[in-house]
Amino acid sequence: MSAQENIKQKRRAQWAWYFYDFGNSAYAAVVLLAVYAAYFKQGVVNGPEGSALWGLSLTIAMLVVAVISPFLGTLADYSRKKKQFMLVMTAIAVIFTGLLFTVQKGDIVLGMVLFIIAEIGYRGGQVFYNSLLVDVADQEELGRVSGNGWAIGTLGGIICLVIVLVLIQLNPGNTFFVRFSLIITAVFFAVSALPAFFIIEEKTPASEKGDKRYWQIAVERLRHTIKSVRNYKEFIKFMVALLIYNDGIIAALDFAAIIGAVIFGVSETELIIFVIVVQVTGVVGAWVYAALGERMGFKNSLVQSLILMLLAVGGMMFINGKVGFFIVGAVAGFAISGVQSISRTLVSIFAPDGKSAEFYGFFALAGRTSSIIGPGVMGFAATGISVWLLNTLAQAELVAADNEVAIMVTEQVGHRIAIVSIVIFLLVGLMLLLFVNEQEGRKAAANGDVVEAGD
């Protein structure tokens, strides 16, 4: 194959990789951000406990993914079957996203179970999708390709949201079309993901497994990686920082729709428009921070994006009105894309050759482990404070326990105070990130084989 044909094939593989994120982001935009989160809280549960149950669902899903991600990542690296595993996880996400259509008012357990399985497929698939970055991009273009993937993926979320917005606008107040939007999302995800399975080629050759079973080899390699990862000190420090700041990022994303509906009274249509605004600024943020990362260092760019995110979330505690909510959301969308795309790029930079999926497995382990805590803390804090405040006022005979206005106001106060938990996670994670040395991390990855041989 000529050099020109190689370049053409690489570009095709990169676009196939981008389009997976194009569909993957539609799931995040519709299910997590704009439609299902608010529908579950307000329509299915219809009570203060909805926030706690939503947080619990997220916690359970993240716990499962945290446990299986390192194992699957190791297995994928060894067997050269990253695409096959990604296909399985994608199929799970698509099928159970479509099944969310069946969830109606009062179907709390069904709504939680179907969402948890869909979320496991969605998050699990990301382990293999992220690990394919090194198969579609050379070392010097990792930042650009990762940023492009994030931006183009976000565009997919916007397009799917526009389709859903038109559908809901033409049928106001009809929950059938709110639920039907989940089928649309499932189809959108499936179609967009297909090119990745046919075009992307895994470059790393499979190793000989001998008489051992794959799961035995996976366990052995995982043990070896756990042992050897101590030599990659900057990667470890980065993972500790991510473990904390990702709590705040995931909680902010997963509760954006609920915060908008509860505190600011944002309608279903307005929530979709809000998320479209967030996605648009996210596209800009992904491109801007990818360029900044290559010019000033990825760690420095990550620090800047976290500071911006802190300012946005802090502002959410004090603003009043829908306009302020939209402005803060736009800033947060810009910052979050920077945080998440640069974090993904740093893993590729810190990972030695041949261990991309293993390191992304640990990246997922840290990210999903933190995701267990963040949404859970936010959900239970919001519900707990709301219920405690209402009961306190009722016991003082200041309001009736079933007073609708009192319930609404105490929910608003509870959710606003609970935002403090997001601020704390972001601030502590940022402080820990300051101790990471990007250049030393690059050196350790380049000398990976030497380091392990001398261990």
- The token duo for 142 is 């990792």
Give the start-to-end residue ranges of the domains of the chain.
Answer: 10-199+228-447
pLDDT band at 354 (very low <50, low <70, confident <90, very high): low
Q: So what's the pLDDT on residue 363? A: 75
| Cα angle for residues 281, 309, 344 (degrees, 5° grid) | 75
Among the listed ranges 11-25, 318-332, 366-380, which one has the minimum average pLDDT value?
366-380
Q: Average of pLDDT values for 441-454?
A: 66
Q: So what's the pLDDT on residue 318? A: 85
Count CA atoms closer than 13 A to 260's CA, side-chain side: 31
* 10-199+228-447 has CATH 1.20.1250.20 classification: yes
pLDDT band at 454 (very low <50, low <70, confident <90, very high): very low
pTM: 0.79
On the question of pLDDT at 228 being above 70, the answer is no
Q: So what's the pLDDT on residue 176? A: 92
CA nearest neighbour of 334 among 150, 195, 165, 98: 150
Cα–Cα distance between 59 and 370 in angstroms, integer? 9
Q: Average of pLDDT values for 228-257?
A: 85
CB atoms within 10 A of CB 434: 10
pLDDT band at 450 (very low <50, low <70, confident <90, very high): very low
